[in-house]
Amino acid sequence: MNIGDQIAQELKLSPQGVLAAIALLDDGNTIPFIARYRKEATGQLDEVALRGISERLEYLRNLEKRREEIRELIDKQGKLTEELAEKLDKATVLQQLEDLYLPYRPKRRTLATMAREKGLEPLATLLFEKRPSPEDAELEAARYINPELGVETTDDALTGACHIIAEQIAEDYQVRSFAREAYHSQAAISSKAKDPLLSSPYETYYDYSEAAAKMPAHRILAINRGEREEFLKVTVEVPQEEIIVGIQKLVGSSLPSYLKAAILDGCQRLLFPAMERELHSTLTQKAQQQAIEVFAGNLKPLLLTPPVKGKTVLAIDPGFRTGCKIAVADSTGKVLATATSYFTPPKRDYFGGKQLILELYHTYKPDVVAIGNGTASRETEEFIAQVIGEENLSLSYTIVSEAGASVYSASDLAREEFPDLDVSIRGAISIGRRLQDPLAELVKVPPQSIGVGQYQHDVDQKRLCETLAAVVEDTVNAVGVDLNTASSALLGYVAGISARVSQNIVAYRNENGPFKNRKELKKVPKLGPATFTQCAGFLRIPGGDNSLDNTAVHPESYKLAQKIVPYLEENLSTSQLKKLSEELEAGFPTVLDIYRALQKPGRDLRDDLPGPVFRREVIKMEDLEPGMILEGIVRNVVDFGAFVDLGVEQDGLLHISQIADRFVRHPADVLSVGQKVEVKILEVDLKRKRISLSRKGLRQMAVNNLSNISGEQT
């Protein structure tokens, strides 16, 4: 079976589509481009399927490369038998290949290698294959006594031979497969407190045990962190005696005592520690992958948060001792004014702060206030709400996540954008722009710093960065980018555009003025025909020479689009569009995409999603009572539930068991970041600043209320 067919079978995809995708990827096409503009070739595979194909393709090709490396290494030792070659050919995962190679891998100095140096390997082979009685084994061992090599007695010879057998047992392919299955299916992970009297965030795991196969990702990562920070002692518990008996059966029946002892030694000294390390590594990798997927799942809806268009924003980066940094940006994001005020503790200059806000309000006429959710956010919110109420200002405010804003503020990009402004002022500008166009601003921050995941610092950072970059790339290309306003950071995520080319685009725009059409892109240094093909369809030019340049229609399809234009007023059905595609001798998916793009030129898919919640009055945690029903915004989704912003200083926890009246496999199946939800207050713990929420029964409550209203009307 070739790689394409294997991937199609594993991912349950069309073989033709997979083979076409592989060919397109090998030709240097980007995944967003293939997903959008090569639908006919791949059978309309989306970005998720294409990335799955790409990752599996890389793995299988690396597997094949490693197979050939191992084959060659063993062959050079003169030990490649037909049976071993066949096993290598049949290996389907990297672990199988490495297990097969293990006996032939160069080793550090071990008890077995020292025994071989003493000439005891022939004795070990005889004992393992012939299995003489203990008495006869001693007679055979006596022949290997050699004081010059360090074999002084019969016991020395038998011990050395058994060390060789122990290592052979521990490295045997079949034995390792058996032990691995036992560890993965029967092991339990136990944790104890190193110091039971010491308080820590890991007290839940001070006396804890759970089957490894059932441990959720967040629990694995929490225990790992607790062990790393030396609060926990973690052990793996398995039925070792049962495993040893099973391995003895694999070796053979009626084993002499010295072979049983060698098997026991090989298991306890070599095999079990290796299996324990491997189990820990496997569990950690799976947990990390789950955490990365949760992060990626949260990141996309956050990036798709609808922009607050056409609004002048007064943004505040709250602080205590250093004051609150303020910036006013017009509807295009241009900075109009900056300031610092000390209306929060310790100075509490309420009057001075109020005068500053009123001055900025009357001068620049801001429509909304964006408040960062970091330190002093609650105090800033109370201050703004009080000023709005006292002066009856036509203003509302919203809380904006400032995760990663400090990273951006100190970056080279921020210094290029605002060379004359302080780092903290740049943070306020970023907060305001995040409200105006979240996607355009968030791409300036390393995705892993945005903070919508769990245990993001405990996972493989390279893998995390690659996964999140893919999410950003898919999202940016799905939305499209205004070629004449986009920053180099945003342009860098457009299909086919490198960091260097994105900088060249901005430089060309600064020197020559706004782009008038997509064709002008070809004049940008380093942007060749191949790059133009990949990126052109994702770049928009509102008000340019060609109206098609403000749509998702690719320049290669402009002639086809012109033929479709006359049919726009007819509101064609799907069957009519299929017939039209046949008449135009074009693929139906392409015709459908063009038709939809022409119906709504310049459409922003984010406009259909729920926007931020604006408020004029502040709600305090003390105002909350069990039974209250409030509307909130999902801020983060994790394995065990979701955190919901209710407009108070502390997000509430909606535990997975309280998300719905039905069973929920994972919170992400029901909730997403940015989603507006109605929740009921279960419990408010002011001392520990915890709010417990529920959505159970809310639907039935709504149905009952509707029935009551209907009855009253009747």
272 Cβ contact partners less than 8 Å away, ≥ 6 residues apart: 179, 238, 240, 243
Residue 451 pLDDT greater than 90, yes or no: no
Would you state the pLDDT for residue 457? 82
Strands (E), 656-696: 676-685, 690-694
A 10 A CB-CB count for 88 gives: 18
Q: Helix axis angle, 588-599 relative to 574-583, nearest 10°? A: 120
Which pLDDT band holds residue 404 (cuts at 50, 70, 90)?
Answer: confident
Instruction: Give 200-253 pLDDT, tens digit per residue.
Output: 999 999 999 999 999 999 999 999 999 999 999 999 999 999 999 999 999 998
Q: 621 is written with which tokens?
A: 């945690």
DSSP letters for 298-353: HHHHHHTPPP-TT--EEEEE--STT-EEEEEE-TTS-EEEEEEE--STTT--HHHH
Residue at 153 is within a domain: no
Asked if pLDDT for residue 664 goes beyond 80, the answer is yes
700 pLDDT tier (thresholds 50, 70, 90): low
Which pairing describes strands 629-638 and 641-645: parallel, antiparallel, or unpaired? antiparallel
Question: Distance of alpha carbon 170 from its chain centroid, rounded?
Answer: 36
Sign of the Cα torsion 75, 78, 79, 85 reads positive
Q: For residue 306, is pLDDT > 60? A: yes
The residue range of the domain holding 327 is: 309-436
Number of domains in the chain: 4
Q: Examine the domain organization and report whether 692 and 628 are in the same domain.
A: yes
Please report how many Cα atoms fall inside a 13 Å half-sphere around the Cα of residue 628, on the Cβ side: 17
Residue 714, pLDDT > 70, answer no
Q: What would the two tokens of residue 218 be?
A: 């967040």
Q: Is the pLDDT confidence value at 706 over 50?
A: no
Q: What mean pLDDT value characterizes the chain?
A: 93
Check residue 548 and give its pLDDT: 96
Please list, in sequence order, all residues whose beta carbon lies within 8 angstroms of the beta carbon of residue 256, skipping any fewer than 6 positions away.
131, 132, 133, 134, 137
Q: Confidence band (pLDDT; 50, 70, 90) for 405?
A: confident
Judge whether 176 lies within some domain.
no
Does 142 fall in a domain? Answer: no
The answer to whether 66 touches 47, Cβ cutoff 8 Å, is: no
Looking at 75, 105, 130, the residue that finishes a domain is: 75
DSSP calls for 372-424: ESSTTHHHHHHHHHHHHHHHT-S-EEEEE--TTHHHHHTSHHHHHH-TTS-HH
Residue 88 lies in a domain: no
Residue 525 structure tokens = 């240094």
CA distance 276 to 187: 9
Q: What is the pLDDT of residue 707?
A: 44
Whether 507 maps to a domain, the answer reads no
Judge if 582 and 686 occupy the same domain. no
Domain boundary among 436, 452, 482: 436
Task: Tell me: do 592 and 625 sit in the same domain.
Answer: no
The CATH number of the domain where 325 resides is what? 3.30.420.140
Residue 561 belongs to some domain of the structure: yes
Summarize the confidence of residues 583-606 as an average pLDDT.
Answer: 92
428 and 316 inside one domain: yes
**Tokens linked to 264:** 């026991």
- What the block records as the tokens of 121 is 């390997």
Please provide the DSSP assignment of 161-216 as one string. HHHHHHHHHHH-HHHHHHHHHHHHHH-EEEEEESSTTS--TTGGGTEEEEEGGG--
Q: Which residues of 74-84 are buried (b: 16+ CB within 10 A; e: fewer)?
A: beeeeebeeeb
- Same domain? 429 vs 320: yes
Of 238-247, 401-410, 623-632, where does the model show the most confidence?
238-247
Q: For residue 589, what pLDDT is reported?
A: 96
Question: In CATH, what number is assigned to the domain containing residue 708?
Answer: 2.40.50.140
Comparing 222-231, 560-569, 629-638, the range with the smallest average pLDDT is 629-638
Condensed to tens digits (0 to 9), the pLDDT of residues 254-263 reads 899 999 999 9
Q: Tokens 């339990």, residue?
A: 188
Residue 17: give its domain's CATH number: 1.10.10.650
Residues 360, 402 share a domain: yes
Find the range with the poorest average confidence among 316-330, 450-464, 479-493.
450-464
Do 324 and 404 fall into the same domain?
Answer: yes
Alpha carbon distance 37, 15 (integer Å): 19
Residues 6 or more apart whose CB falls under 8 angstroms from that of 485 comprise: 332
Q: Map tokens 């290592």 to a residue.
A: 167
User: Looking at residue 703, what is its pLDDT?
Assistant: 42
pLDDT at residue 604 tops 60 = yes
**Cβ(552)–Cβ(602) under 8 Å?**
no
159-168 tens-digit pLDDT: 999 999 999 9
- Name the one residue in this structure whose structure tokens are 């799976």: 286
Pair (315, 427) in one structural domain: yes
Q: How confident is the model at residue 268 (pLDDT cuts 50, 70, 90)?
A: very high
Provide the 10 A C-beta neighbour count for residue 16.
13
Using a 10 angstrom Cβ sphere, with 0-12 exposed, 13-18 middle and 19 or more buried, the burial of residue 588 is: middle
The answer to whether residues 62 and 10 belong to one domain is yes
**Which residues lie across from 634 on neighbouring strands?**
644
Q: What pLDDT, on a 0 to 100 scale, did the predictor assign at position 343?
A: 97
Last residue of a domain, one of 566, 600, 634: 600
Identity at 619, one-letter amino acid code = I
pLDDT band at 699 (very low <50, low <70, confident <90, very high): low
pLDDT band at 712 (very low <50, low <70, confident <90, very high): very low
Apex 485 CA angle, 564 and 429, nearest 5? 140
- Work out the burial of residue 315: count CB atoms within 10 Å of its CB; fewer than 13 is exposed, 13-18 middle, 19 or more buried: buried
- What does the block give as tokens for 581? 């595609």
Q: What's the token pair of residue 447?
A: 């995705």
For residue 475, tell me if it sits in a domain: no
Contacts of 493 (CB under 8 A, 6+ apart): 443, 469, 472, 473, 476, 477
Among the listed residues 489, 453, 495, 452, the one whose alpha carbon sits nearest the alpha carbon of residue 473 = 495
pLDDT higher than threshold 80 for residue 705: no
Strands 188-193 and 396-400: unpaired
592 and 630 together in one domain:
no
Q: Exposed, middle or buried by CB within 10 Å (0-12, 13-18, 19+), for 711? A: exposed
3-state secondary structure 221-252: HHHHHHHHCCCEEEEEECCHHHHHHHHHHHHC
For the cut 80, the answer to whether the pLDDT of residue 711 exceeds it is no
Tens digits of per-residue pLDDT, 54-88?
A: 999 999 999 999 999 999 999 999 999 999 999 99
For residue 667, is the peptide bond before it cis, meaning its omega torsion is within 30 degrees of 0? no
| Least-confidence region, from 2-16, 207-221, 424-438, 696-710 | 696-710
Is 392 in contact with 609 (CB distance < 8 Å)? no
pTM of the model: 0.84
Of 522, 361, 356, 333, residue with least CA distance to 440: 333
Residue 387 domain flag: yes
